[in-house]
Amino acid sequence: MPEVIYSGPEGRLEGRVNVVEGKRSPVAMILHPLPQFGGNMNNPIVYNLYQTFIKKGFSVLRFNFRGVGKSQGDFDHGIGELSDAAASLDWIQSQVSDSKGCWVAGYSFGAWIAMQLLMRRPEIEGFISISPPANMYDFNFLAPCPSSGIILHGEEDKVVPKEDIVRLVEKLQLQRNIEVDYKSISGANHFFENKTDKLINQVNKYLDSRLVGPDI
């Protein structure tokens, strides 16, 4: 799990990467929660997503947005962080020659950034969106959503109410040519305290349903 430093829009960005050696692999990138509330690439959910994609045969990057850890710059309310994500996807793709697919995953604030990136990068074929803050940010840019994926949410989430998540899911499920799954994790709050295993189990099941072929 080597530490990496690479160029971002506002200076260096800090990340952790695992690159599959010796064969083609898909790539995945994991985006962390809101920096202003302590979100960083070592968040337990971000770390577990990272490990999950590694086990599925992906080359994976998780990184700190600007102003977090060793990443340079200042918090930019999502605008700069989207640029950080785009630069980071460029970087991990440059490390994997002839990659065979691309996924993005995000948690809370990171889910909002991930879904915006999805609209700008047609090579992204799947997404994992955990507790997207549909009550705090506008998700109307997903018109239409270009890729299939899954939205997961804690049933007892008091930060992002269930009705806001369901409204977003229902809007996406009406769109043609994509399939958006939804899983509510019983007993889980926004931080999935003592429920991370249940969350990751659902992510595993979804990835297994999507990833077919002998090389993945």
* Secondary structure, 3-state, 67-119: CCCCCCCCCCCCHHHHHHHHHHHHHHHHHCCCCCCEEEEEECHHHHHHHHHHH
Which pLDDT tens digits describe the chain residue by residue (216 residues)?
Answer: 699 999 999 999 999 999 999 888 999 999 999 999 999 999 999 999 999 999 999 999 999 999 999 999 999 999 999 999 999 999 999 999 888 899 999 999 999 999 999 999 999 999 999 999 999 999 999 999 999 999 999 999 999 999 999 999 999 999 999 999 999 999 999 999 999 999 999 999 999 999 975 444
The pTM for the full model equals 0.96
Interatomic CA distance for residues 179 and 159, integer angstroms: 26
Q: Provide CB contacts within 8 A for 143, sequence distance 6+.
A: none
DSSP one-letter code for 201: H
Task: Say what the pLDDT of residue 23 is.
Answer: 84
* Cβ pair 83, 67 in contact under 8 A: no
CATH of domain 3-210: 3.40.50.1820
Interatomic CA distance for residues 128 and 183, integer angstroms: 11
Backbone angles phi, psi at 95, to 5 degrees: -85, -15
* Cβ pair 32, 64 in contact under 8 A: yes
